[in-house]
Copies of this chain bind each other. A is one copy, B any other.
């Protein structure tokens, strides 16, 4: 009997480098987290990756494995080149895939982290039974992945699925991408917190204000969520507004793609049912009539270790 293959999932973040061994069903057998050393340049990062991977392989004694890497920014698949990832100074173009292949003599797959998250949901998570779905990840940035016929849709240069940069108000808020009114400029973590800060000064009666008093640094999506759960109407309005705006952006996406299953992950997705309900009801009010009855909005299933699991899923994904 051959031992089933495992996926080594490497989640390359600007601060933390997370590495895990994941089995075919998406169960994490072992994981570590180390500093990614991004500020020390690519060689230092590569050393961290190699040492971390070697360490976890030795301690777990797995033999049959492939490696999957989820990296921020642009990735070219053939040689697994990671190109100028944001928050990795002095990086340039690094053939991370080739380097690890030589080092570990196994299959290595490198993907943009938003695409890896979508593949993770497809292989292990909420997208298991969907031929097509739209995955949106709410974090500092708002990222996306589009699955068509159980394949990632990449577009001409692998840059497709920039769902955070769909416009909801072309004369609205400046986005850091250079455009105006992108959905990210409303519901990306920092933008969202900034907006709440300006609104809450007029809502000192709210529970949320009571929780932070004047220390605006305490404001997080998590805190907003718990205040909303406790019945704070100001926090609830923030959650509903977030879901409604996300629904506006998804309306355009559904009308273009005719894909009606939507999976939402990332921190702000922790807003829970109130968020999902407002996304869904906005979509059902707004998308083209024939699509309305088919709309399904679901939370992502891979939560805390979504990065590791998504990366490991690359090993089990037939591209």
Contact = CB atoms under 8 A, between A and B. Distances in A.
B259 A156 contact: yes
Contacts of A132: 155-156
A178 B283 CA distance: 11
A171 B169 contact: yes
A287 interface: yes
Interface in A144-164: 144, 146, 154-163
Given A285-B178, A287-B179, A289-B178, A160 B257 contact: yes
Contacts of A167: 167-168, 248-249, 251-252, 286
Given A168-B170, A170-B168, A170-B169, A163 B256 contact: yes
Interface string A219-258: 0000000000000000000000000010011011101111
A180 interface: yes
A60 interface: no
B159 A291 contact: yes
Contact of A165 (B131, B168, B170, B255): B255
B74 A260 contact: no
A157 B167 CA distance: 25
B290 A155 contact: no
A71 to B, nearest CB: 15
Interface size class of A (residues with CB under 8 A): 35 or more
B74 A178 contact: no
B251 A155 contact: no
A177 interface: yes
A166 interface: yes
Contact of A177 (B156, B248, B288): B288
B248 A156 contact: no
Contacts of A159: 258, 288, 290-291
Contacts of A158: 258
Nearest to A244: B170
Interface in A174-192: 177-180
Interface in A6-27: none
Contact of A258 (B156, B253, B256, B287): B156
Contacts of A157: 258, 290-291, 294
A161 B256 contact: yes
8 contacts: A132-B155, A144-B256, A157-B291, A160-B256, A162-B258, A167-B248, A167-B249, A177-B289
